[in-house]
Amino acid sequence: MRKQIETEGEQTVGQNQKNTQEPDMNQLRKVRREKLAELQQNGRDPFQITKFNQTHHSLEVKDLYEAHEAEILKDHQQPNVEGMDEEQAKEALKNDYEERRSIMDASPIHVAIAGRMMFKRVMGKASFCNIQDLQGNIQVYVARDAIGTDAYADFKKSDIGDIFGLEGFAFRTRTGEISIHAEKMTLLSKSLQMLPEKFHGLTDTDTRYRQRYVDLIMNADSKDTFIKRSKILAAVRKYLSGEGFMEVETPMLVANAGGAAARPFETHFNALNEDLKLRISLELYLKRLIVGGLEKVYEIGRVFRNEGLDTRHNPEFTLMELYQAYTDYHGMMDLTENMYRFVAQEVLGTTQIVYKGIPMDLGKPFERITMVDAVKKYAGVDWNEVETLEQARELAKEHNVEFEERHKKGDILNLFFEEFVEEHLLQPTFVMDHPVEISPLTKKKPENPEYVERFEFFMNGWEMANAYSELNDPIDQRERFKAQEELLAQGDDEANTTDEDFMNALEIGMPPTGGIGFGIDRMCMLLTGAEAIRDVLLFPTMKSLDSDKKAGKSGAVEEATANDNNGFFKDNAKIDFSNVKVEPLFEEEVDFDTFSKSDFRAVKVKECVAVPKSKKLLQFTLDDGTGIDRTILSGIHAYYEPEELVGKTLIAITNLPPRKMMGIESCGMLLSAVNNLKDSEDEELHLIMVDNHIPAGAKLY
């Protein structure tokens, strides 16, 4: 029997080859339910089992066996097969293995593990399976004589995905694989659904995000990411606890969603008949605690911002904010630098990390540079020489930096920073001293009140943290809130409103305070190598699968169901055009050759997201038929939400020269139809959408 174990069974092999004809999944599910019914009928219902005494995990078994083996066999001499022929050497190695097995089996390590069966190979009276648990997987040898005839018969009928508890002893196969010799097998849960085919795994990203439970089963890298995320959070808490910080919890449902420039989600509390918002920041409540005398506080919690989705943004995400009395933004820089080093060393065992091929050294002192110096370095513009708003606007026009009428001089400086600087900040860098216009809660620099004591921490071109010397002057704070409310009146729906209770707290008196907010999800992305924020969120926000069947925006053409050929068309007779006014036709003729120079192509929308810090721009990721994604930015956010455009077929001019907007290179232009309403200055815009049967890249003539 042992020979059979060593020669036939110990190799972990894949499932039987897939039938050339796709199996009937409904039939396979039916078979699994029939197996469950048979077990229940025979009094072996797995769902009635409430507990299994698990003593070890797979990796622990392997580590324990290796340590035990090293101790027991420390004096054992390996056979010298040099000079032997093949048969002699084989026999000598066989005898040596059996000798070692006899020694180890005389002092067995008994274990009880539990996990999901991911592979099974039945061979008459003895079989092999592979059990996967939290730590990994381990091979199990299952023999009829060891577990009993009835239990073995049930095991033979088991399916991939079933969850087993097993008891037995560890051993090493002839090929060197540490395995478990099962003495008892208990079916703990019956899997009624098929897992993805093993060798191809679960690769579809949409399914991985929607069915994270399957992703964690099939993809070891995904499981490792979330285990690391948990360790990162534990390390952050460990560091802050060592620095004397106290963890607290503050409200998520608030009347005034302040502390950041973002659009909140709104809801209604029936019991009090009051409108409330989901918090966009943790700041204002934590500062109240500083007023109350809790000198070092932090919170790790969910915040909610009604913004777009992309590789770095999710409408709900994890933010950590901390506040420390009697320090300033320089103190926050020191804390950030030390914390990042500690967390990397604690979780990864090194301060050297690599993200998408870019090495980053957390062990070196982080660079510190002012925003003005950064813009001078990367854009060649010295903001110290800009004295008026008009000068700032002229510089913006010269450098093709888009701005809005409401933007002040400091706002335009920030636009320059976003356009020309951010992408260069790959190594850990503190960008300091922001303009006062974009920092309503920050203390002004005494020597230059146009700027504030604030920094943003960057890595990989991403903003990783934002910190202030906190404003504690209640008179100045009220003026800042007043300026924010003026912006709100001008149409800035991300502007703050006055929080009177917070103002009362400031008037009671807040000591000099340093504060900082960390994006935990982005930290996890960098330390785990994840490419998108959804890869570090267990359950990211996803568009509902049946959303295309729901009604579109009020006043818009009703979206058709997924089975519609065109996806959006409606009979013209059902649409009222009587109030529409269109521009007169051009009288100037264009020769055919000039027209033909424009390359009009059908493009399909793979992804569409709102551009951060822009009210107008949507960023499209397009399939143009070349196999390389095309990025085009379009200022149509006032007319469309990004989610409703995914999957549509649009028309683009693809041979326009690239143009940078908000630091993103736009390669082409999407075509829209624009009209006014009669007796109105209001403009209507409709993207040109075409039949989805038209393939990506089809040229228009």
Q: What does the pLDDT read at residue 201?
A: 64
Whether residue 517 is predicted with pLDDT greater than 80 in this model: the reply is: yes
Identify the band that residue 653 occupies on the pLDDT scale cut at 50, 70 and 90.
Answer: very high
Identify which has the larger pLDDT, 609 or 179.
179
Give CA–CA dist 550/563, Å, rounded.
13
SS3 241: helix
SS3 100: helix
Q: What does the pLDDT read at residue 616?
A: 85
DSSP character string of 501-533: HHHHHHHH---SEEEEEEEHHHHHHHHHT-SSG
CA 240 distance to own-chain centroid: 24
Half-sphere exposure of 571 (CA within 13 A, CB side): 2
pTM recorded for the entire structure? 0.76
Whether residue 682 is predicted with pLDDT greater than 80 in this model: the reply is: no
Q: What does the pLDDT read at residue 580?
A: 77
Q: Are 99 and 79 in contact (CB under 8 A)?
A: no
Q: What does the pLDDT read at residue 640?
A: 87
Identify which has the larger pLDDT, 563 or 30.
30
Give tens-digit pLDDT for 278-336: 999 999 999 999 999 999 999 999 999 998 777 778 899 999 999 999 999 999 999 99
Q: Are 249 and 300 in contact (CB under 8 A)?
A: no
State the average pLDDT over residues 348-373: 95
DSSP tag of 314: -
Residue type, position 129, single letter: C
Give CA–CA dist 67/605, Å, rounded.
56
Half-sphere exposure of 591 (CA within 13 A, CB side): 2
Give tens-digit pLDDT for 450-488: 999 999 999 999 999 999 999 999 998 898 888 888 877
Give tens-digit pLDDT for 389-408: 999 999 999 999 988 888 99
Taking the alpha carbons at both ends of the chain, their separation in whole angstroms is: 75
Q: Are 666 and 631 in contact (CB under 8 A)?
A: yes
Beta strands in 134-250 (DSSP E): 136-143, 163-172, 178-189, 246-247
Q: Are 320 and 313 in contact (CB under 8 A)?
A: no
Q: What does the pLDDT read at residue 199?
A: 53
CB count within 10 Å of CB 698 equals: 16
Q: What does the pLDDT read at residue 684?
A: 84
Q: What does the pLDDT read at residue 572?
A: 56
Pairing label, strands 429-432, 367-370: parallel
Q: Are 9 and 141 in contact (CB under 8 A)?
A: yes
Measure the CA dihedral 62/13/214/178, to 10°. Answer: 0
Give CA–CA dist 351/557, Å, rounded.
54
Q: Which helix (H) or strand (E) holds 391?
A: helix 389-398
- Compute CA distances 337 → 333, 342, 354, whole Å: 6, 9, 18
Whether residue 2 is predicted with pLDDT greater than 60 in this model: the reply is: no
Whether residue 200 is predicted with pLDDT greater than 80 in this model: the reply is: no
